[in-house]
Structure 1
Amino acid sequence: MIEIFQNIREIYDFTAPCGELLPYVEFFSESSADKCEQYFDQGHASVTMFESWTPTFYINLTGGYLIDVGDHRYTIKNEQDILILRNGLVRRHNRPEDRIFTVKFYPGGLEAVLGLNQVWMADRVISLDRILPRELLSRIKRASSFRERVAAMETFLLGSMQRTTADHYASMVRDAIGEYTASGMQLNTSEVAERLFITSKSINRYFNRVVGIAPKSYFSVLRARTALTAMVADRNNFRPWTYGYYDPAHFYKDVFKFTGRKISQVF
């Protein structure tokens, strides 16, 4: 299955974080036994995900699996938990019995909550017990439900956030992403910087410091993801200029750059 083009979420349960974590955590999710039984044979044995620059925890509740990060394949063993940045192509190879608890952060969110800069995580698969207490990981695995696992993780993250001083750089990056999104993705980097009363040089420094890429590159990824998702959801009413594209050709070129696939190959 291919992210955005197909519904890779249909075998998972999802929930949003509590209000205090909303600026930093995109969602919690867990693979569902019932949904796997119903939908797994529709292509979920291999799931391809595109770059998003979102640090993500994968906590393994059952057996091992394979994951491709960039050009390398990793064998994730039974009981092994990992953190990846998703700065490039990721492909996870699943089995129907796999159960994974996932925490997906927004860019810079992990730094705001745990004080961990995501730049050094690029192209790596990091053992999660280097980041989180082993007792917390054990408690999450022993929990009897998705709700209990979410509660345990939220309690830990909230407690950690209270001990972490808010970072000016991460806050500015979140504000910049908010300005870009609120404008309908019509602004360029200089215009976003102007709205935040900073220079283009400063906004570039902030994004490279917090996210790991220049704002122009990140905005390009964000726009492609958002516009492609909208097109797949409603092709008849999709208009690429709504998302800052000059014309359909500009959009198609961006989709190919982002996914490696031509629209004509998918539809």
Structure 2
Amino acid sequence: MTEIFENIRKLYQFYVPDNELADFIEFFSESSATETFRHVANNRFSIRMFPSWTPTFYINLGAPYLLTVGARQHEISSRTDVLILRNTLVERHNLPTDHILTVKFFPGGLEAVLGINQAQFVDQVVNLETVLPPGLLHQIKQPAVFEERLELLQHFFLEQLRVRKKTNHYRTFVTDTIGTFGASGLELKTAELADRLFITSKTINRYFHRVIGTPPKAYLATVRTRTALSAYVANPSLFSPYDYGYYDMSHFYKDVVKFTGRKLRENVG
């Protein structure tokens, strides 16, 4: 299954925070045994995901799996939990007994909640015990339902967040810049964003490197391509490249190839 082109969420239960965590965590999810069997039966399967620069926790509640991050493969045992940044292509190769609890942060969210800068995790697969207390992970892995695990994680994250109530200037600025880019129709360049925000291009670059781990040009290009491609897949007949800051369809096609590694017609009939 491939993200954007296919609904990979159909295999999971989802929860989107509606509390103080909403600005920092995109979602929590857990594999659904019923839905997994319905869609893949007893077959091995894989889930392919494109870059998003969103720190993501994978807490393993089931079988071992193989994780490909960029050009490297990592064998993840049934006892191992990991953190990845998703700054490159990621693919999870799973057994039918796949059972993963996922926490996906927004860019900068990991630092806001846990005080951990995400830039250090570029191209890394990090043991989650270096980020979360082993005791908490042990509790999460006890026989329970999704809602019980969710309560444990949210309680921990909210406590950590309240310790860090002081506004993070860097993260706030990056979030405002991303919002300005979105409001512009996804077409403002770094220098134009700098003018809008009354700051220098050099400062914007420094802040994005500090919070996300990549320059604004690269990150905002990812935002635009993901947004445009999702809209195209949802309704090709109504799609206009001009709505997403592209010069024409050719410009959009080139970005899709650069982003996914495939031509659009190989994924969309």
Band of TM-score, shorter chain: over 0.9
Q: For 1:140 and 1:169, how far apart are their aligned partners in 2?
A: 32
Q: For 1:204 and 1:13, how far apart are their aligned partners in 2?
A: 37
Q: For 2:156 and 2:122, how far apart are their aligned partners in 1?
A: 25
- RMSD, aligned α-carbons: 1.5
Q: For 1:41 and 1:231, how far apart are their aligned partners in 2?
A: 30
Q: For 1:58 and 1:162, how far apart are their aligned partners in 2?
A: 24
Check the 8 A contact 1:11/1:40 in 2, yes or no: no
Match of 1:109 in 2: 109
Q: Which runs of 5+ in 1 are unaligned?
A: none
Structure 1 stretches (4+) deviating beyond 6 angstroms? none
Match of 1:21 in 2: 21
1:127 aligns with 2:158: no
Counterpart code for 1:167: N
Match of 2:204 in 1: 203
Q: For 1:82 and 1:264, how far apart are their aligned partners in 2?
A: 34
Check the 8 A contact 2:64/2:94 in 1, yes or no: no
Q: Secondary structure at the match of 2:9?
A: coil
Match of 1:189 in 2: 190
Match of 1:261 in 2: 262
Structure 1 window deviating more from structure 2 (37-46 vs 244-253): it is: 37-46
Deviations 1:163-208 (A, max 9, x none): 2243211111111111111222132222222232222111111001
Counterpart code for 2:72: H
Match of 1:150 in 2: 150
TM-score (norm 2): 0.95
Q: For 2:241 and 2:153, how far apart are their aligned partners in 1?
A: 39
Structure 1 window deviating more from structure 2 (111-120 vs 192-201): it is: 192-201
Match of 1:98 in 2: 98
Q: For 2:153 and 2:23, how far apart are their aligned partners in 1?
A: 16
Q: Secondary structure at the match of 2:195?
A: helix
Check the 8 A contact 2:87/2:123 in 1, yes or no: yes
Check the 8 A contact 1:143/1:149 in 2, yes or no: no
Q: For 1:22 and 1:247, how far apart are their aligned partners in 2?
A: 35
Deviations 1:105-156 (A, max 9, x none): 0111101111101111011110001110111111111251111111111111
Q: For 1:41 and 1:256, how far apart are their aligned partners in 2?
A: 32
Q: For 1:42 and 1:137, how far apart are their aligned partners in 2?
A: 28
Number of equivalences = 267
Q: For 1:92 and 1:207, how far apart are their aligned partners in 2?
A: 28
1:250 aligns with 2:235: no
Counterpart code for 1:85: L
Check the 8 A contact 1:40/1:96 in 2, yes or no: yes
Q: For 2:43 and 2:3, how far apart are their aligned partners in 1?
A: 11
Match of 2:82 in 1: 82
